[in-house]
Structures are given as structure tokens and as C-alpha cells.
Amino acid sequence: MTTLTIRRPDDWHVHLRDGAILKAVTPYTSRDFARAIVMPNLVPPVVTVADARCYREHILASVPQGHSFTPLMTLYLTENTDPNDVEAGFRDGEVTAVKLYPAGATTNSQSGVRVIEKVYPVLERMAACGMVLCVHGEVTDPAIDIFDREAVFIERVLEPLRRRMPELRVVMEHVTTRDGVDYVRSAGDSLAATITTHHLIINRNAILAGGIRPHYYCLPVAKREEHRLALRRAATSGDRHFFLGTDSAPHLDPLKECACGCAGIFSSLNTLGCLAHVFEEEGALDRLEAFVSLNGTAFYRLPPNEERVTLQRHEQPVAFPRMIETDDGLITVFDPMFPIHWNVAGEAG
Ligand code: DOR
Ligand code: ZN
């Protein structure tokens, strides 16, 4: 059996939700990841440090006994966010990052930012104290084709913002295009990007060819094959500017399988198995640790995890559940469309 021992990974972008879904999904994240940057797009959103403190308690109450897991809290940036609250939360270690959602870009983003100038005071304060801004990098202009929204965001919003505030430390979340990868590569050390597991595996055909498959619909939407290949090269290169953010984003099945389905793919349950498969396919298993355990930690200026985990490759595919049950209903698990032979030693699926 092939095995690979690496430092325990972190997930630099995950949605844990609240209530019944939080209870059902958190154990998968806390089982495989030491820390996770938890997205704040609840209803209502996590906008103040007091909100984050309360949400963190809910999360910790959902972590099973015996798992050691630290949720890293984020604040949802609004045009009314108070720079003093943000800075105090960061200095006290209660919040790690702030998330910028352009209003209307994705799930529960209606309280997000419409006019970027209105949040300059918060961003300037973050730049001064070294706090990370996580960015959902898509424009919302209805005139821009959905497949071009990331590239246009870089040109219209991100590049001007970074020119104005070169000190601001930015993570382009869930980068999905070659344009995004090239931009991150060409920028200095104040810019990095997360890459999801699913964007390394699917292109837009998975959603649209041969029938519409809502469980592959997420935002930013998967792009053409050339973009997936660019993401694979970036993730498996070892380049420290790229690291894992699963963007595991559970929605109850009826809310995905309907006339106007929600965006989001639930992948925390089998992410490490999928990634080992991808890195093995690319002949880059020796760089998996950089992507899942080292690069993100370095960008966030946190110490790497000391604990080690062993991934193992089985002769027979590992039987992961196709869906999980919550008290509110079923959630479908990401299907990578290949048999997964890898799992974490000691875990059933
Ligand atoms: O697919 C997505 N789902 N993309 C996002 O940006 C948000 C997320 C969610 O919260 O469901
Ligand atoms: Zn997300």
C-alpha cells in the first residue's frame, strides 16, 4: 500500500452554516483539518466581532469529542463595518480575516459591498495591521457574461484596489481561471489564492453536458478545460501563493434540485481523498503537503501544524457515502466521477 505522511492540513475557506447543517458537517472538517477559515455568509451574516464570538461557540459545540479543531473566524464586510471593531477583533485573536462579497455575487451576499470606496477606511486599517482580506472575485454587472466575471473583477476592482493599497494582504478566494492564476503569479507577496478541490476536478461540462447537474453548480462557476488545467498546474506546482480552500458549501438537496438551485458543492467529507488522487495523477504527491498544510499557514503568518496524518492508497476504491443526513434533510456529497482510492489512515470513508 502506498502511504503519504504530511502535516495535518488546514482548510482556508469553508462554509459550516449554522443549526442542523452545522451539526452534521462540522465533524468532517474537524476530523481532517486542524484549522479552517470559516465563511461568514450566514443569515443574518457575521458582521461584528460579537457575532463571530457567538458563531464560534456554535461551531465548537458541533466538534466531536477527541477532534482538535480551531475555527478561524471571519467578518462579513458591509458598507457599515466599523474599522475599530475589526482591528480590535484581529488584535485580540477573535477574528482572522474579513470577507468581501460584492453585493449579489453569491449565496447570501445581498448585504455585501456595492460601492468599494465606502469600505476604504476598513481596508486601510486592515492594511496597516496586516490583516487578510478574503475576496469573492467576481463582478456582478449583469452585462458581463458569468464565465468572464472573474477576469473582469481583476481588471476593474482588484488591480485598482491593490494599486491604491499595495500593503493590503489579499486572498483571491476560489480562483477558477487561467487569468486569475496568471494574475496571482505576477503579483507580489501581498496576494495569494485559494483553489477548491472541485475546480481541480470538474470543468463546465460536468454541469451542462448530457443533462443539467445541479450538484456541480457552484460560484464561481466551473470554467472551460484550459482553466481547470491552469488551476491544476498552480496547485501542484508547490508555489506558495496557492493553497487549499475547499469552499465546501452544503445546501439541502431540495434547494439544489429545483428550478433555481443554490450554488455550492459539499466536499469536506472526501476532499483529501480527491486531492491525493489529483496530485498522484499529476505526479506531484510530494507537493500535496505544501498545498494543504504549508502555503496557507505561511500566508496567514500562523505556525504550521505539528501533528502528522497519513494518507493511504488502497487497492480497492474507498466507499464514501453519496449523501449525508441532517435533521433538516439530505445533503449530496461531491462526486468526483472517478473511484477514490485514497483516505486518511484510520478513517472509514
Ligand atoms: O458555490 C458557492 N457557494 N460559492 C459561494 O461563493 C458561496 C457558497 C455558499 O455559501 O453556498
Ligand atoms: Zn465560499
pLDDT tens readout for residues 263-317: 999 999 999 999 999 999 999 999 999 999 999 999 999 999 999 999 999 999 9
For ligand 1, pick from 13, 39, 106 the residue to mutate: most ligand atoms within 8 Å of CB. 106
Ligand 1 proximity of 89 Cβ (cutoff 6 Å): no
Question: Is residue 222 lining ligand 1, measured as CB closer than 6 Å?
Answer: no
In a domain, 38, yes or no: yes
Residue type, 159: E
DSSP state of 105: S
pLDDT tens-digit readout, 215-274: 999 999 999 999 999 999 999 999 999 999 999 999 999 999 999 999 999 999 999 999
Nearest of 187, 142, 141 to residue 161 by alpha carbon: 187
264 CB within 6 A, ligand 1: yes
How far, in Å, CA of 125 to CA of 55, rounded? 24
CA dist 61 → 70, 176, 269 (Å): 12, 33, 19
- CA 271 to CA 33: how far, in whole Å? 11
Q: Would you say residue 287 lies in a domain?
A: yes
Residue 233 sits in a domain whose CATH number is 3.20.20.140
Q: What is the predicted pLDDT for the residue at 347?
A: 81
Q: Distance from the CA of 59 to the center of ligand 1, in angstroms?
A: 19
pLDDT at 346: 83
- Predicted local confidence at residue 90, as pLDDT: 98
- The amino acid sitting at 249 is A
pLDDT of residue 1: 67
The pLDDT score that the predictor gives to residue 26 is: 98
CA distance 163 to 183: 13
Q: Is the CB of 241 under 6 A from ligand 1?
A: no
d(CA 258, CA 173): 27
Q: Which ligand is nearest to the CA of 112?
A: 1
Which residue's C-alpha comes closest to atom 10 of ligand 1?
107
CA distance 149 to 143: 10
Asked whether the beta carbons of 62 and 27 are under 8 A apart, the reply is: yes
The size of the chain, in residues, is 349
327 burial level (CB within 10 Å; 0-12, 13-18, 19+): exposed
β-sheet bridge partners, residue 11: 36
Q: Provide the domain limits for residue 58.
A: 3-344
pLDDT band at residue 107 using 50, 70 and 90 as cut-offs: confident
Residue 125 within a domain: yes
Q: How far is the CA of 190 from the centre of ligand 2 (A)?
A: 21
CA 107–ligand 1 middle distance (angstroms): 5
Pocket flag, ligand 1, residue 135 (CB < 6 Å)? no
- Tell me the per-residue pLDDT of 144-192, one tens digit each, with 9 for 90 and over: 999 999 999 999 999 999 999 999 999 999 999 999 999 999 999 999 9
Give the residue whose CA is nearest to atom 2 of ligand 1: 264
Beta bridge partners of 322: none
Q: Is residue 349 part of a domain?
A: no
Q: Is the CB of 249 under 6 A from ligand 1?
A: yes
Instruction: Say which residues have a Cβ less than 8 Å from residue 89's Cβ, sequence separation at least 6.
Output: 49, 52, 75, 95
Within 10 angstroms of residue 286's Cβ, the number of other Cβ atoms is 12
The DSSP 8-state label assigned to residue 248 in this structure reads: B
Residue that the C-alpha cell 474507498 belongs to: 318
Q: Does any domain span residue 123?
A: yes
pTM: 0.98
Sheet of 11-14: strand order equals: 11-14, 35-38, 70-76, 97-100, 132-135, 169-172, 191-195, 242-244
Ligand 1 atom closest to Cα of residue 251: 11
Contact predicate 16/73, CB 8 Å: no
Determine, yes or no, domain membership for 275.
Answer: yes
Number of domains in the chain: 1
The answer to whether residue 73 is domain-embedded is yes
pLDDT of residue 76 exceeding 70, the answer is yes
- Give the pLDDT confidence score for residue 349 in this predicted structure: 60
* Cα 312 to averaged position of ligand 1 atoms, centre (Å): 30
Angstrom distance (rounded) from CA 260 to CA 232:
30
- pLDDT over 70 at 105, yes or no: yes
- Helix axes of 19-32 and 49-61: crossing angle, nearest 10 degrees: 70
pLDDT tens sequence across 10-31: 999 999 999 999 999 999 999 9
Ligand 1 closest atom vs CA 41: 10
